[in-house]
């Protein structure tokens, strides 16, 4: 539920501003285990961006190695590159949510 609310907010306005209505919606929907999870995600936000960059770098390395050096670009190599890029995209989404959670971390930790 919280993820849907944050994604809806991010889709409508981007990550730059947090409104009081959004804060009230988050406070009303966040339960204790979810609160702990959101605080961990906010704390490890830059780690997700680093993982995303590493995934893209690994995909480029595999592409260069198998496509230009060994010249044995097969369907399996293509699948590995695709999976690495999809992983990087999902990690960027987590990083985007972590940026939002980091902005509202104090209000989330404050109470329900």
DSSP label at 44? T
- Secondary structure tally for the chain: helices H, strands E: 6, 0
Residue 96 φ/ψ region, left for φ over 0, alpha for ψ in the -120 to 50 degree band, beta for the rest: alpha
Q: Count CB neighbours of 31 within 10 A.
A: 11
Q: What pLDDT shows up at residue 112?
A: 45
Mean pLDDT per segment of 10 residues, for the chain of length 112 residues? 60 60 68 74 86 96 92 91 96 87 71 49
Q: What pLDDT shows up at residue 2?
A: 55
pTM: 0.63
């Amino acid at each position: 539920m919280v993820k849907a609310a944050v994604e809806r907010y991010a889709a409508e306005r981007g990550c730059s501003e947090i409104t009081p209505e959004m804060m009230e919606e988050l406070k009303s929907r966040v339960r204790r285990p979810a609160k702990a999870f959101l605080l961990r995600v906010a704390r490890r936000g830059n780690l997700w961006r680093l993982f995303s960059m590493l995934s893209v770098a690994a995909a480029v390395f595999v592409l260069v190695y198998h496509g230009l050096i060994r010249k044995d670009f097969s369907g399996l190599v293509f699948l590995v590159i695709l999976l690495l890029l999809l992983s990087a995209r999902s990690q960027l989404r987590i990083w985007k949510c972590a940026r939002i959670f980091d902005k509202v971390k104090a209000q989330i930790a404050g109470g329900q």
